[in-house]
């Protein structure tokens, strides 16, 4: 979907400032990718040692006290009989899929299933070593950041809530790669509009990752990451928000978005109306009837007033008021029809302007 520009700018404005000021987000992911890409060798003679070297920076990104996919792999490969199975699982995980995300989804799920099958046999009491589809996808991001997106469940969920995505990406085992990547692609498609942002990011990668061509995929992740950890979201979407605050914020955001849409529709309608205005009819010489003064004839006039002669007595009226108030009618049906068209046009325009004023005031009060 196309991201709302106003909403996106509330995130990108502070992010761009942080890059301009040299206050970048943590570089753990950059270091992990650098280290992995430099050391990874699927055909290494000593595969466990190569794996340990390649993932030494990634452990800080991927392993937590509750779940340790990298630590689990190292523990499994302490058994010599399991080394070649792990190697083949990675070889299969890193197969080229020509961009077919459904195949990639299948590969990450199969990778987790195969490795976990060995864990259940060899390390049955070590649940923290479980591999998930989410952790398998992170291995892909380490090797090919230009084709994949880093995934952190809490950060992805916060972004989805703020931008109105309904998808549940899962938290690990149920990780839905295709849906998460689709959301990331939406942000990726907006980034070329921000020349300064992409320039700063390219310069940063040149300095930290030897100019790796990440296709802005790392920038997508870093924006989501920074929005979450640095508090770019409004209160109800922040990492410290309670469930009640989040629910209220989502509701208010939906209401605000709906109001913005209504305002846009009203403004479009008003612009269309103003582009084809109904002109004031020229009543000069016409016979008219006024509710109070009776029948009269409209005299020539050079200003915004209507001058009517009622049997020798001249009266001045505001042209627009007299024609829209209903106090004045024309004897000629054609002229009367023109007056009615003008009345309808003026009424619709005034109503739209009034509604827009109220709606914009309500929007301002929403904050």
User: For the chain, where are the alpha helices, taking DSSP H only?
Assistant: 5-20, 28-39, 47-54, 59-62, 69-76, 83-93, 101-122, 133-143, 153-163, 177-190, 195-208, 217-229, 243-275, 319-324, 333-366
Stretch 47-74: mean pLDDT, rounded? Answer: 92
Tens digits of residue pLDDT in 114-156: 999 998 888 877 788 888 898 999 999 999 999 999 998 888 9
pLDDT tens for each residue of 216-261 = 999 999 999 999 888 888 776 666 666 676 677 667 777 777 787 8
The confidence band for 20, taking pLDDT boundaries of 50, 70 and 90, is confident
Q: Using alpha carbons, list the distances in angstroms from residue 130 to 44, 51, 70, 289.
A: 24, 17, 10, 90
Q: ∠ at Cα 116 (115, 121), nearest 5°?
A: 105
Residue 53, pLDDT score: 97
Element (H, E) at 169: none
Place of tokens 């270091």: 31
Instruction: Report CA-CA distances (Å) from 318 to 229, 282, 306, 324, 346.
Output: 62, 14, 6, 10, 15
CB atoms within 10 A of CB 21: 8
End-to-end CA distance of the chain: 25
Delimit the domains of the chain by residue range: 5-241, 245-367
pTM, full prediction: 0.68
Cβ–Cβ < 8 Å for 236, 246: yes
Q: What is the mean pLDDT of residues 255-280?
A: 85
């Amino acid at each position: 979907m196309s991201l709302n520009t106003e909403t996106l700018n509330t995130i990108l404005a502070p992010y761009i400032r942080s890059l301009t000021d040299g206050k970048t987000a943590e570089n753990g992911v950059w270091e992990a990718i650098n280290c992995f890409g430099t050391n990874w060798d699927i055909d290494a003679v000593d595969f466990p040692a190569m794996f340990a070297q390649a993932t030494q920076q990634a452990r800080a990104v991927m392993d937590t006290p509750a779940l340790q996919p990298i630590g689990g792999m190292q523990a499994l490969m302490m058994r010599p009989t399991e080394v070649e199975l792990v190697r083949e699982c990675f070889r299969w995980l890193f197969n080229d899929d020509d961009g077919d995300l459904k195949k990639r989804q299948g590969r990450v799920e199969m990778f987790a299933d195969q490795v976990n099958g060995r864990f259940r046999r060899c390390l049955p009491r070590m649940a923290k070593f479980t591999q998930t589809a989410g952790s398998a996808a992170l291995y892909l991001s380490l090797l090919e950041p230009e084709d994949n997106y880093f995934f952190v469940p809490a950060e992805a969920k916060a972004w989805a809530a703020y931008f109105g995505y309904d998808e549940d990406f899962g938290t690990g085992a149920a990780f839905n790669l295709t849906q998460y990547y689709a959301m990331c692609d939406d942000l990726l498609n907006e980034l070329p509009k921000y020349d300064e942002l992409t320039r700063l990011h390219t310069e940063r990668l040149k300095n930290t990752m030897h100019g790796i061509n990440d296709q802005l995929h790392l920038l997508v992740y870093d924006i989501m990451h920074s929005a979450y950890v640095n508090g770019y979201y409004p209160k109800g979407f922040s990492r410290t928000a309670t469930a009640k605050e989040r629910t209220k914020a989502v509701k208010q955001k939906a209401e605000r978005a709906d109001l913005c849409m209504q305002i846009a529709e009203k403004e479009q309608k008003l612009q269309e109306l103003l582009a084809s205005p109904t002109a004031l009819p020229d009543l000069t010489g016409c016979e008219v009837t006024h509710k109070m003064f009776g029948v009269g004839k409209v005299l020539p006039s050079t200003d915004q007033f209507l001058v009517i002669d009622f049997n020798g007595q001249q009266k001045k009226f505001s042209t627009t008021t007299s024609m829209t108030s209903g106090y004045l009618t024309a004897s000629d049906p054609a002229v009367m029809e023109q007056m009615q068209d003008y009345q309808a046009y003026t009424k619709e325009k005034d109503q739209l302007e009034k509604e827009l004023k109220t709606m914009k005031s309500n929007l301002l009060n929403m904050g």
